[in-house]
Structures are given as structure tokens and as C-alpha cells.
């Protein structure tokens, strides 16, 4: 090799070892332009290109590496290169090309393809997409038992995530812990390291094990902060989860800054990672009340094939479009089969269904949430159960039964250091206190919620709490009647007796009787006819609404 190429190559190797992959890629390219690189350096060049999200360049280089390995009859190395080429195509949304490449590789390798640990990973992913989780687990278990080197932590991560999606949360987290222990013991390549970190944090979040997610995220942050550049799809995926945990911890400005930078870096990149980033951007924007920006982010997520629920449904709910919110989350639940993904959807569904007055649908969602959670009782899952149970009891006009659930949930979320969840529970507890005529208790809870919402920058929640704190202003058009009392009044106006109202609203007759008495008190009347007459005269209800 000439002196010019050798100088570039020496520099490229040094930069690669220092994790300065963009600079290393440029030096490899310079050396290769002078004189074609040997297969080992060419493989490193391909790795640098792949890590820095230069997908087309990585694919072209990996083809060259593949051909050289085939010529040398290095079948194990051929299978590994084939895997990375498949992965590069997959992450660029070139699904047909990725599948075709695997078929071509199988023909080239012949019988050796069937026993290659690297090629069992794509086979397992294919089985999982077909819903054959048992077969996928068998394949990945074989890889873990028989494989050597970096394919083992890779397979452990894939296996762990599949188990979690199947609802086997504890088993899945165990597999991810195994992969993380390998990463702690020795350095892994820049293609495998972010995969292990991202899988660990993502799997923990899916399983609602936020303590573990935070621990792994701290380790990941130390690694990310040691790098000179955080660009590219590989590192961008890690940063998406870092933003999510920042949001969970209440550091919303930091979470927004992190994910906005990732979206800017990946803009124009065709891949599911880009869609995932824009969904997280939409979530942070939604919580902050930036509705148009949030919707634009969800649209970008959808353009990249990423689901937009439950975020979009919750955005519609915040806009008062309860029907659209209910339809969106209901549709998503018909499509999503992953049990872990259903947990977030079900929790959002409970909130939306209750707002829509669909109490029975909310009950069904609560029951399914509890069934999926099973015996994997992380503090966050227990908090989630208590939250939706309490919200359901409150909607059933049983504040006395709701309060123990809500208090338990507050304690659990406080231990998990998730301030937004605590504040939303303060609101529910305040409403329960108000229904029990404990206005002092309600005022204390609402004040606590308001302080947290103001600190976080949760503008939609701030508006809601202000309406609750000043009910005279917020309900002047309803003469102090609650939303549920308004529903009862409309049914009274339609001539429904208490028993029929109880059936339609899924309430007890005792509860309906209490609502009717409250309506009479608020409107200053003493009969159903007088209540309807007053309501129509003062535009509490309109004739066209009946």
C-alpha cells in the first residue's frame, strides 16, 4: 500500500478505536479511493458508515465485504456480513430488498445457512412478525446456547423484547439483563453496543420497570457522553429513550431539546427509527400544550410507518374531541397484538372511555390491563392498576371506594419519582374529596397539582385545574352542575325515570337519586318538571340537544 493510503488508513484505525466514526469513515474513504482496502479494514469502513447512518454507502461496502469473504470461503464471516447487510436494508425501510438478500445469502451458503447463528436472528424476527413467538424464542434460544461472540448479546436482546411483547415480562427482563451483563464485562462493537442499550431501556419501559430503565439509561448516558458525535440512526435510537425517561422524570425542557435534536438529525432518513423519534417529539409537545406542533409530529411519525396511538387520541381528548379520541384508541386496540404495547393503550383507553361516558368499555379495559400485568408487579404497574381502578370508581360515582386506590397510586408514583403522574392523581383525589363535600381537601389536592403542572409546563392540565379550582366561572353556563349531572338532567328532560337513567349511564339507582337531588338543589327547584323548565329557560340545556 502506498504511503498516502497508509497514512489515511492508520488515522482511520485510530479514529475508529476512539469511537470517532464520522471522521474514521472519511479517512477510510480516502484510503480506499487511493487503493482498495483489504477485507478487514473494508469491514471497519462499512461499520463506520452504518453507525453514522450512511445507509446506501454501508450497503455498497457490505456487498464488497461479502464478495471477498465468499471468495475466501470464510462461511462464518459470510453469514455475519450477510446479517449486517440485512439489518442495514431493514433499517432503511427497504423491506423487500432485505428479504431478497436473505434468500440470496441462503443460496450462496447452502446447508451452512441453516446452522448459522447470525442468520437465525432474521428468521426469528420473521416468525415473530407472523405471531409465532414460541418458534422465534426457540430459534433465539439456540443462538444463545450455540453462538459465539456478539451474536449472543444481540440474540438475547431480541429474545428479551419478544418475551416482553408476548406479556412474559419477567422472563424478558431476565434475557435483557443477561445481554447487559455481557456489555458490562467487555467492549462490544459500535453496532452492537447501542442495540443492547436501546433494547434494555426500551424493554424496561415496555414492562413498566422504570427503576431498571433509569439504571440502564444512566449507564447508556455515560457511554453516549463519551462520544464525540451523537449523530445517526443508531445513536438516535438510544437518545429517543433518553428523552422519554427525561420526560418521565419531569425534565420536560431537556426531553424536548434532546428529541428535537434527534428529529433534526434524522430528518430525511427513511426508517422506523425516524418515525419513533417523531412520535416521542409529539408526546412531549402534547404534554406541553403545543397542539399544532404535536399533531405535525404525529403526522411525520405516521409517514415513517410508526403508530400514532395513544398519543394522537389523547391530543384529540385535550381538544375536546372525545368521539375522535375514543374511535382512535378503539381502532388501535383492534390492531395491536403485543401485550406490552397494549398496556399504554389500555390505560389511555380508560381515561378516554370514561370521559366519553363509556363506563362498561372502561371496565373491560381495566380488566384486560390487570390480566396482562399478571404477576409481574413492578411498582409502576401496581401504580397503573390503582390509578385506573380509582378513576373507574370515581366515574361510577363512588368516591369513597376510589380514594384508597388513588392514594395508593400516589404513593407508588412518588416512589418512582414521576411528578406528572402524581399531579394527575392529585386532580382525581381532589374531585373525590369534592364529591364527599370535603372542599378543604379538594383545595389542597388541586393546589398541589397546579404547582406541579406549572413547574412542568403542562399548559392543558393547568387550564383544567384552574377550571376546577374556580367552578363558578367554569360552570356558569351549567349553573354549577357537573358533567354527570348534566347527563342526568338531559335524560330527565327526555322523560326517563331513575331506573332507566341508571341503566343507560351504568349507575345505581341510589346514585341517580343523589344526582337528581343535587340538580334540584343547584337549580333551586323541587320537581323534575321544574328542573327541566328552568334548564330550558336559562339555556342550561337546549331543546335541540334533547
pLDDT in tens, 75-103: 888 899 999 999 888 877 777 888 888 88
- 3-state SS record for 301-343: HHHCCCCCCCHHHHHHHHCCCHHHHHHHHHHHHHHCCCHHHHH
The three grid cell numbers given for residue 503, joined into one nine-digit string: 341503566
Question: Helix 169-185 and helix 151-165: axis angle, to 10°?
Answer: 160
State mean pLDDT over 10-33.
90
- The answer to whether the CB of 410 falls within 8 A of the CB of 426 is yes
User: How far is C-alpha 414 from the chain's CA centre?
Assistant: 21
pTM: predicted TM-score of the whole model, two decimal places: 0.76
> What average pLDDT does the structure give for the chain?
87
pLDDT at 152: 95
Q: How many CA atoms lie within 13 A of 331 on its CB side?
A: 11
pLDDT at 113: 82
> What is d(CA 267, CA 542) in angstroms, rounded to the nearest whole number?
50
pLDDT at 376: 67
Instruction: Give per-residue pLDDT as tens, 392-418.
Output: 999 988 999 999 999 999 999 998 889
Instruction: Give per-residue pLDDT as tens, 123-139.
Output: 999 898 888 889 999 99
CATH architecture of the region 377-474 = Alpha Horseshoe (1.25)
> What is d(CA 346, CA 440) in angstroms, rounded to the nearest whole number?
33
pLDDT at 476: 47
In the DSSP assignment, the letter for residue 62 is H
State mean pLDDT over 59-83.
91
- The class of domain 478-545 in CATH terms is mainly alpha
pLDDT at 38: 93
Let me know the angle formed at the C-alpha of 448 by 446 and 450, rounded to the nearest 5 degrees: 65
pLDDT at 350: 96
Instruction: Give per-residue pLDDT as tens, 160-197.
Output: 999 988 888 889 999 999 999 999 888 888 888 888 98
> What is d(CA 21, CA 191) in angstroms, rounded to the nearest whole number?
11
- Is a pLDDT exceeding 70 seen at residue 269? no
Question: Residue 190's closest CA among 55, 21, 9, 28?
Answer: 21
Question: Residue 410's closest CA among 439, 392, 373, 384?
Answer: 384
Amino acid at each position: 500500500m502506498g504511503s498516502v493510503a497508509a497514512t489515511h488508513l492508520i488515522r482511520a484505525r485510530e479514529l475508529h478505536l476512539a469511537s470517532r466514526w464520522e471522521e474514521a469513515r472519511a479517512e477510510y474513504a480516502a484510503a480506499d479511493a487511493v487503493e482498495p482496502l483489504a477485507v478487514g479494514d473494508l469491514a471497519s469502513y462499512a461499520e463506520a458508515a452504518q453507525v453514522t447512518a450512511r445507509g446506501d454507502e454501508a450497503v455498497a461496502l457490505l456487498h464488497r465485504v461479502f464478495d471477498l469473504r465468499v471468495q475466501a470461503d470464510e462461511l462464518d464471516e459470510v453469514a455475519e456480513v450477510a446479517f449486517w447487510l440485512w439489518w442495514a436494508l431493514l433499517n432503511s425501510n427497504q423491506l423487500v430488498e432485505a428479504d431478497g438478500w436473505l434468500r440470496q445469502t441462503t443460496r450462496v451458503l447452502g446447508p451452512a445457512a441453516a446452522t448459522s447463528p447470525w442468520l437465525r436472528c432474521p428468521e426469528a424476527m420473521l416468525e415473530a412478525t407472523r405471531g409465532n413467538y414460541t418458534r422465534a424464542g426457540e430459534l433465539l434460544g439456540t443462538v444463545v446456547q450455540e453462538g459465539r461472540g456478539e451474536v449472543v448479546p444481540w440474540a438475547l436482546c431480541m429474545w428479551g423484547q419478544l418475551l416482553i411483547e408476548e406479556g412474559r415480562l419477567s422472563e424478558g427482563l431476565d434475557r435483557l439483563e443477561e445481554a447487559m451483563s455481557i456489555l458490562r464485562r467487555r467492549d462490544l462493537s459500535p453496532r452492537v453496543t447501542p442495540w443492547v442499550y436501546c433494547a434494555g431501556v426500551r424493554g424496561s419501559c415496555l414492562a413498566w420497570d422504570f427503576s431498571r430503565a433509569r439504571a440502564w439509561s444512566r449507564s447508556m448516558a455515560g457511554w453516549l457522553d463519551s462520544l464525540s458525535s451523537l449523530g445517526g440512526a443508531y445513536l438516535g435510537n438510544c437518545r429517543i429513550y433518553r428523552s422519554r425517561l427525561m420526560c418521565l422524570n419531569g425534565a420536560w425542557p431537556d426531553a424536548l431539546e434532546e428529541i428535537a435534536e434527534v428529529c433534526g438529525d434524522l430528518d430525511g432518513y427513511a426508517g422506523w427509527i425516524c418515525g419513533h423519534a417523531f412520535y416521542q417529539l409529539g408526546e412531549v409537545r402534547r404534554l406541553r400544550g403545543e397542539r399544532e406542533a404535536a399533531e405535525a409530529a404525529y403526522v411525520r411519525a405516521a409517514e415513517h410507518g410508526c403508530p400514532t396511538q395513544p398519543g394522537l387520541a389523547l391530543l384529540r381528548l385535550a381538544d375536546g374531541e372525545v368521539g375522535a379520541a375514543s374511535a382512535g384508541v378503539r381502532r388501535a386496540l383492534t390492531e395491536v397484538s403485543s401485550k406490552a404495547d397494549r398496556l399504554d393503550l389500555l390505560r389511555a383507553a380508560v381515561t378516554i372511555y370514561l370521559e366519553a361516558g363509556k363506563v362498561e368499555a372502561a371496565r373491560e379495559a381495566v380488566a384486560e390491563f390487570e390480566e396482562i400485568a399478571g404477576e409481574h408487579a413492578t411498582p409502576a404497574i401496581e401504580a397503573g392498576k390503582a390509578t385506573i381502578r380509582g378513576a373507574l370508581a370515581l366515574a361510577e360515582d363512588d368516591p369513597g371506594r376510589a380514594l384508597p386506590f388513588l392514594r395508593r397510586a400516589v404513593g407508588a408514583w412518588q416512589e418512582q419519582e414521576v411528578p406528572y403522574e402524581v399531579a394527575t392523581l392529585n386532580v382525581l383525589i381532589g374531585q373525590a374529596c369534592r364529591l364527599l363535600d370535603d372542599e378543604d381537601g379538594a383545595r389542597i389536592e388541586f393546589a398541589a397539582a397546579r404547582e406541579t403542572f406549572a413547574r412542568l409546563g403542562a399548559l392543558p392540565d393547568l387550564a383544567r385545574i384552574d377550571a376546577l379550582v374556580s367552578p363558578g366561572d367554569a360552570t356558569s353556563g351549567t349553573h354549577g352542575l357537573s358533567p354527570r349531572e348534566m347527563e342526568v338532567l338531559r335524560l330527565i328532560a327526555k322523560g326517563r325515570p331513575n331506573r332507566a337513567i341508571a341503566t343507560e349511564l351504568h349507575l345505581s339507582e341510589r346514585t341517580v337519586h343523589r344526582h337528581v337531588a343535587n340538580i334540584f338543589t343547584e337549580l333551586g327547584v323541587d320537581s323534575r318538571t321544574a328542573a327541566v323548565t328552568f334548564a330550558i329557560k336559562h339555556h342550561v340545556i337546549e331543546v335541540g340537544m334533547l
